[in-house]
């Protein structure tokens, strides 16, 4: 089975490559093959790839910068997925497109269901919501929303916090982290497993919903996540000491883009229909820390 992976150099893309099942051949597509800000080449690339599935893990993910570069954010997060979906619809293949919890405004206080009304707060969320809308207009396309994604590669909260724990503990300074935004950290490894499960299920002609939620189990604030990164980082020998973590309010850490205060995703349908086990985010964090250790984190 052949998969065309768009966004191969990203943190999810890299984990998908690392975890691919044996029966799968991945054709990697990165910015050097196609710059998604220029859509001319997409159609030919997709048609000539002869892939059974296309996974689009590419995105404009700089949430704050998107407020200044809205045109580019819409181009990568909405127009490019639209073009990708249209090209895939000319083949016998299916598209799996990754989206985000930031399509919600966070005013709910129980987990968001896939069919809940979307109301993004910032340009990143708005551009991703538009991308979802385009992708879901066509048959054989699937959108997977995830939250607080991190892994052992690239730029993410976990690697940033590990470095900050090291720096701040050496300088005997505390680490101040927002505690009034609630969500679920999700490992690129668990999301990759879920993507492979979707592909396996579709290749066996199983019928699955076109809009799915996937996150690791449990609940956390960024403060809880930062605290656990320090604790487990020490346990795994990645850092010698964790910095003291102090909870602060979002108002004390102003960012250009507004973020939802609550963005838990209800993944019940995903676990039931696809029979994929969700593990607690701390369990997944420990596994990611093991991967970081293998890479000789400094």
Provide the annotated active-site residues: 124
Q: What is the DSSP letter of 177?
A: E
Stretch that binds ligand NAP, among 88-96, 148-156, 158-166, 274-282 (CB under 6 A): 148-156
| Cβ atoms of 1 and 94 closer than 8 Å | no
Binding characters for ligand NAP, 91-110, by CB under 6 A (x = yes): -------x-xx---------
Q: Rank residues 73 and 238 by Cβ distance to ligand NAP and give the closer one.
A: 73
CA distance 165 to 169: 6
CA distance 198 to 79: 24
Stretch that binds ligand NAP, among 27-35, 239-247, 264-272, 276-284 (CB under 6 A): 27-35
Q: Does residue 215 belong to the site contacting ligand NAP (CB under 6 A)?
A: no
CA distance 276 to 190: 10
Q: Does residue 263 belong to the site contacting ligand NAP (CB under 6 A)?
A: no
Contacts of 282 by beta carbon, 8 Å cutoff, 6+ apart: 218, 228, 232
Q: Rank residues 79 and 175 by Cβ distance to ligand NAP and give the closer one.
A: 79
Stretch that binds ligand NAP, among 35-43, 84-92, 216-224, 247-255 (CB under 6 A): 35-43
CA distance 147 to 265: 8
Stretch that binds ligand NAP, among 30-38, 113-121, 169-177, 201-209 (CB under 6 A): 30-38
Q: For residue 27, give the H/E element and its range.
A: strand 25-29
Q: Please identify which residue in 149, 211, 288, 292 interacts with ligand NAP, judged by CB under 6 A.
A: 149
Neighbour-count burial of 116, counting CB atoms closer than 10 A to its CB (0-12 exposed, 13-18 middle, 19+ buried) = middle
Q: Rank residues 128 and 213 by Cβ distance to ligand NAP and give the closer one.
A: 128
Q: For residue 196, give the H/E element and its range.
A: helix 188-203
CA distances from 248 to 69, 146, 172, 252, 254 (A): 28, 25, 18, 6, 11
Q: Does residue 58 belong to the site contacting ligand NAP (CB under 6 A)?
A: yes
Q: Please identify which residue in 37, 48, 173, 240 interacts with ligand NAP, judged by CB under 6 A.
A: 37
Q: Does residue 229 belong to the site contacting ligand NAP (CB under 6 A)?
A: no
Q: Does residue 5 belong to the site contacting ligand NAP (CB under 6 A)?
A: no
Using CB under 6 A as the criterion, which residues of the chain lie in contact with ligand NAP when the complex forms? Answer: 7, 9-13, 30-31, 35-37, 57-61, 76, 98, 100-101, 128, 146-149, 154
């Amino acid at each position: 089975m052949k998969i065309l992976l768009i966004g191969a150099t990203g943190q999810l893309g890299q984990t998908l490559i690392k975890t691919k099942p044996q029966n799968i051949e991945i054709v990697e597509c990165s910015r050097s093959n196609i710059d998604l800000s220029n859509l001319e080449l997409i159609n030919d690339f997709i048609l000539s790839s002869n892939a059974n599935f296309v996974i689009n893990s590419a995105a404009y993910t700089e949430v704050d910068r998107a407020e200044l570069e809205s045109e580019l954010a819409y181009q990568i997060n909405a127009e490019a997925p639209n073009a990708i979906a249209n090209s895939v619809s000319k083949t016998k293949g299916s598209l799996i497109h990754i989206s985000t919890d930031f399509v919600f405004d966070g005013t709910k206080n129980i987990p968001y269901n896939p069919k809940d009304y979307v109301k993004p707060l910032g340009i990143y969320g708005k551009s991703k919501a538009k991308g979802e809308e385009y992708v879901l207009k066509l048959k054989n396309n699937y959108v997977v929303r995830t939250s607080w994604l991190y892994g052992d590669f690239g730029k993410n909260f976990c690697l940033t916090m590990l470095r900050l724990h090291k720096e701040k503990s050496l300088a005997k300074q505390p680490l101040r982290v927002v505690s009034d935004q609630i969500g679920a950290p999700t490992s690129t490894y668990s999301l990759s497993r879920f993507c492979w499960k979707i592909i396996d299920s579709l290749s066996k002609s199983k019928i699955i919903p076109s809009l799915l939620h996937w996150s690791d189990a449990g609940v956390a604030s960024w403060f809880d996540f930062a605290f656990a990164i320090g604790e487990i980082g020490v346990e795994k020998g990645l850092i010698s000491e964790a910095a003291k973590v102090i909870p602060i309010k979002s108002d004390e850490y102003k960012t250009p883009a507004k973020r939802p205060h609550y963005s838990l995703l209800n993944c019940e349908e995903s676990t039931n229909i696809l029979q994929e086990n969700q593990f607690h985010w701390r369990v997944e964090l420990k596994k990611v820390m093991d991967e970081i250790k293998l890479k000789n984190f400094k």
